[in-house]
Structure 1
């Protein structure tokens, strides 16, 4: 669980604990926390959905319960995977 308000660059696992719309969990890279009125304990996040390779596949805004957000497990190096840069031709 994340105890703090997410900040730009955070990688989160968003699943059913955060909102019933996420029946299949996604990885989400935060761009910003949106300043919109919400219910207590809920927040709007803007960011990118991340695929299994670590690539950003969809930019979206999501409405989630802060207490339901999770930090994904870290890799062997002890660091979260970084987004891959687009390949240049």
Structure 2
């Protein structure tokens, strides 16, 4: 059983690391990440769900009917 509750913890060197019910995970986040500004940041599952929703919202159909995911990162068009 864990002695610490589930959540983000400062791991050193400007990084946060997520701990779940089973121990330390492979999920890291920079403390400079805008999502870390609102404490506590969302759990990794929530972040992944939000990313999937964002991808679904930015997916467009091309003329041939293929799906093309389009992201905009700091004003740049990225595929």
TM-score, structure 1 as length reference: 0.25
Which has more helix, going by share of residues? 2
Larger radius of gyration: 2
Which has more strand, going by share of residues? 2
